[in-house]
Amino acid sequence: MIPVGRFRCYPIADGDRLYPKALLAGDDPERVVALPEEVSVPYTPLLVDSGSDRILIDTGAGPLADTTGRLERSLDRAGFKPADINAVVLSHAHPDHIGGLSLEDGTPRFPNARVLMSRKEYDFWHSVELRDKLGTGFVYGDAHLEQVIAMWINRYLPPVRERLEWLSGETEITPGVLVMDAPGHTPGHVAITISSGAESLLYAGDLMVVEGQAANPEWTTIFDLDALGIVRTRRRLFDRASADRSIVFHYHFGKVGRLERNGSQFQWEQL
């Protein structure tokens, strides 16, 4: 449990997956050398308990792999049931973030939760242009990856379609929990800050996937749709997090740290 003032934040492990390093290395040969052949990438939603509200940020991958879909077991271990969740916030619509939203029989997993996501994100993935081309390699240059994205969007979002509430711009969803645009990884990717008194936590979503991206903020991966955009967002939010001495939580690290600014780079200090 991570205390942030009056909030109690619980990392909820969904599992992890091995990624071939080529997916994460971008086009820089030095990074290719620096990474192991396969990188184990954890999927870690965060439960934020304010005492009166329980907000789950992201939902894991569901049955994307044998090693994922452990969200509910981890929730139980932290002392919560799906019915305890009042709100689910989706940082973006990639499969590893939306797969826990609904059960395999097509019912919502969290019966009492409103579901908040960026309108821009939803519209992007449901645009007429993309509907015809997603799955052909048009977006990422990888047809299989796109087919999985399309499958997960078509399977896990429709059961909650009626209860979706749209985010755009900065939105305080409950006192002290602020959602803000953090585009680049996807067009409607959002980040969340939890603030209480002098303490704060930045839920950075997929702004970083591997630790080396702190020291090399220009390092993008195949999953970042807008390379310039994510670098700009990363610098903006990391600048603020280091100035505020915020705790930083990355979905794909599963651990918390702080970012210390060092010239144009950042140093990741694990807590």
- Of 54 and 94, the one with the shorter C-beta distance to Zn ion is 94
Longest dimension (CA), the chain: 51
| Region near Zn ion per CB under 5 A, out of 86-94, 141-149, 170-178, 229-237 | 86-94
Part of the chain binding Zn ion (CB under 5 A), chosen from 28-36, 87-95, 211-219, 262-270: 87-95
What is the smallest separation between the CB atom of 168 and Zn ion, expressed in angstroms?
21
Distances (CA, A) of 87 to 17, 30, 46, 235: 26, 42, 12, 29
Given the rule CB under 5 A, which of 33-41, 101-109, 155-163, 203-211 is the region that contacts Zn ion? Answer: 203-211
- Phi, psi torsion values for 38, nearest 5 degrees: -130, 140
Q: How many CA atoms lie within 13 A of 47 on its CB side?
A: 27
Residue with tokens 């934040």: 9
Query: Which CB sits closer to Zn ion, 24 or 113?
Result: 24
* Piece of the chain touching Zn ion by CB under 5 A; list 14-22, 31-39, 89-97, 146-154: 89-97
Q: Which is nearer to Zn ion, 19 or 110 (CB)?
A: 19
| Candidate segments 88-96, 107-115, 126-134, 231-239, binder of Zn ion by CB under 5 A | 88-96
Contact yes or no for 49/9 (Cβ under 8 A): yes
Q: Give backbone dihedrals phi and psi of 102, rounded to 5 degrees, phi first.
A: -130, 160
- Tell me the C-alpha distance between 137 and 145, whole Å: 8
Question: How far are the Cα atoms of 14, 31, 49, 62, 236 from residue 101, in angstroms, in the given order?
Answer: 12, 34, 19, 8, 30
Cβ partners under 8 Å of residue 69, min gap 6 = 14, 15, 60, 61, 62, 63, 99, 100
Task: Specify the residue, 7 or 153, whose C-beta has the smaller distance to Zn ion.
Answer: 153
For Zn ion, which is the closer residue by CB, 26 or 176?
26
Q: Is 206 in the site for Zn ion (CB under 5 A)?
A: yes
Least spacing, CB of residue 81 vs Zn ion, in Å: 25
In the complex, what is the shortest distance from the CB of residue 175 to Zn ion, in angstroms, rounded to a whole number?
Answer: 28
End-to-end Cα spacing for the chain: 12
Within residues 108-127, the interface with Zn ion by CB under 5 A covers none
- Work out how close the CB of 83 gets to Zn ion at its nearest, in angstroms, rounded to a whole number: 26
Q: Which of 96, 146, 181, 224 binds Zn ion (CB under 5 A)?
A: 96
The stretch among 94-102, 114-122, 166-174, 263-271 that binds Zn ion (CB under 5 A) is 94-102
Give the number of residues written for the chain.
271
Assigned token pair, 22: 């080529």
State the nearest-atom distance from the C-beta of 58 to Zn ion, in Å: 8
Q: Which CB atom, from 23 or from 87, has the smaller least distance to Zn ion?
A: 23
Q: Which is nearer to Zn ion, 6 or 222 (CB)?
A: 222
Output phi, psi for 5, to 5 deg. 55, -125
Helix then strand then coil, % of the chain, to nearest 5: 30, 30, 40
Residues at the contact surface with Zn ion, assessed by CB under 5 A? 94, 96, 206
